[in-house]
Amino acid sequence: MQELDPTILQKANSWLEGNYDAEVKAQIQKMIDDKAYTELTDSFYRDLEFGTGGLRGIMGPGSNRINKYTIGSATQGLANYLKKTYPGEKIKVAIAHDSRNNADLFSGITADVFSANGIHVYFFKALRPTPELSFAVRHFGCKSGVMLTASHNPKEYNGYKAYGDDGGQFVAPHDAAVMDEVAAIKSIDEVNFTRVDANIEEIGEEIDVLYLDNITTLSVSPDAIKRQKDLKIVFSPIHGTGITLVPQALERFGFENVILVDEQTTPDGNFPTVVYPNPEEKEALTLALKKAQDTDADLVLATDPDADRVGIAVKNSDGEFVLLNGNQTGTMLINYLLTAWEEKGKLTGKEYIVKTIVTTYLIDKIAEAKNVTCYNTLTGFKYIGELMTKFEGQQTFIGGGEESYGYLIGDFVRDKDAVVSSAFIAEMTAYYKDKGSSLFEALLDTYVQYGFYKEKLISLTKKGKTGAEEIVAMMDKFRKNPPATLGGSKVITLKDYERSMQTDLETKIITIIDLPQSDVLQFITQDGSIISARPSGTEPKIKFYCSVNGKLASKEAYAETDKQLDDKINTIMKDLGV
């Protein structure tokens, strides 16, 4: 039988003896009585920390779980940080939540703690998308904001995204400073839960109107939409917050034929019609695809619970619906935006786009051809937001995104935004249909023109304490013994973002990587393949991003070339032992 680490029992006992409610204590006592030591260890072996996406974890009792007390401690720590950072100032924050179970409860607790600390809270009275929270932070001149969400994680999860005064998630050195303040709270007795109603101001529809007004001004092809206003769009919010704004945004842009997936329109934290509420998963789009086939739609859109990511499906050359992955959608959005801006004479040389280092380099190639600067950041949209804030007033941000289905157009928000992205995906579909083409045909044309880039993400889940140790060991092995060849091509460059070092493996010349440190390794081969290894900051996973490319001689050669590139990816992953 598994032994229980005495330090785990000691930590559990501190909760049993501390100022926690009876229900939480009963749950902890039951784990001890039932000798559920694995669950007890996972609940207490560490304190939840801010990763690339903030605070995220499974709901339940314990220091490594999302509950009233970990949420309260995080908020007290954030409040302490804000009061130290802005002494003598009136501090304002905005709070929103998505459709997850307990998200409304946790948002209320967050508001209680802020208000108890003399901080003015703009509180969304009902569920709203993450990007609208970012918009509200900027609109009200807040010093911070909090979104209660676990994005597209399974239903057992919840989380807490903390935002800075620019509407983007905290970045260095502020993220570490917030973490230090949270870590400095050693007892739940240090958290002030006593709500002060006078410090809480409810907000709602008036912010919806302002936000929609702003994003509607970004439309580049209103004439094409007028001619294609009957474009058939199937939309599913997958039981999340997308229902509050996406249909309105599509209507504002001029689309009159939006078909909702009725079974998935009601917000529900149990996500009853899907296994995972993740638009990256084909299974989550099953009902939307059926609706699209039944109605002969042009486009399928599906957003995740907090409406910062969007998945899409379009008809291929045979009239069958196919899902585009995040790299393909991101490529098409950027290509469309740059092409439309170019046609309208809007490119002045001061525009730029942003993507992450694990997102397709086809985007870089398109930007280069259009003479638009493309910046690459670390994984995590907070780095894109940080760059946007840095260049505000000097250069014009057109759009950007990352392979994990998150995109942004315009600079009203500092996080990925499925609301504005859905509107623009519909707009570009109308644009290509207006030219007698389709989004899928346009994708093939892009491959023929710039090269066929194919990407695949392989995630290995390693749960709990032992899983975390396995992930560390894997990264250590790759650092010490990088592969000599991958997919039959020599590995010529190793990029170690944790050490900020790029090594030419042939000349042994080392150059500095001018990005913040991050636990990411990239192997670049002689034939242009790029393989990235990265432990997730928010999930018990290690992720491998594989990108290969080749020439697409013609649209007719798509299927054959696609298979060749797929085979190459499989060989590379085998070479890595994954």
The residues carrying an active-site annotation are 151
**Residue 373 neighbours by CB distance under 10 Å:** 14
| Residues 303 and 279 sit within 8 Å (Cβ to Cβ) | yes
134-148: burial string, b at 16+ Cβ within 10 Å, e else: bbbbbbbebbbbbbb
Residue 35 DSSP label:
T
The first and second tokens of residue 291, run together, are 């609706």
Taking the C-alpha atoms of residue 299 and residue 214, their distance in angstroms, rounded to an integer, is 24
| Residues 273 and 263 sit within 8 Å (Cβ to Cβ) | yes
SS3 sequence, 443-508? HHHHHHHHCEEEEEEEEEECCHHHHHHHHHHHHHHHHHCCCCEECCEEEEEEEECCCCEEEECCCC
β-bridge pairing 501-504 and 92-97? unpaired
Degrees (nearest 5) of the Cα angle 418, 421, 422? 80
Taking the C-alpha atoms of residue 75 and residue 192, their distance in angstroms, rounded to an integer, is 10
- Partnered with residue 550 across adjacent β-strands are 452
| Residues 157 and 60 sit within 8 Å (Cβ to Cβ) | no
- Give the three-state DSSP class for 238: coil
> Which residue type does 423 have?
A
End-to-end CA distance of the chain: 31
SS3 sequence, 289-322? HHHHHHHCCCEEEEECCCCCCEEEEEECCCCCEE
H helix or E strand, kind and range, residue 432:
helix 418-434
SS3 sequence, 336-389? HHHHHHHHCCCCCCCEEEEEECCCCCHHHHHHHHCCCEEEEECCCHHHHHHHHH
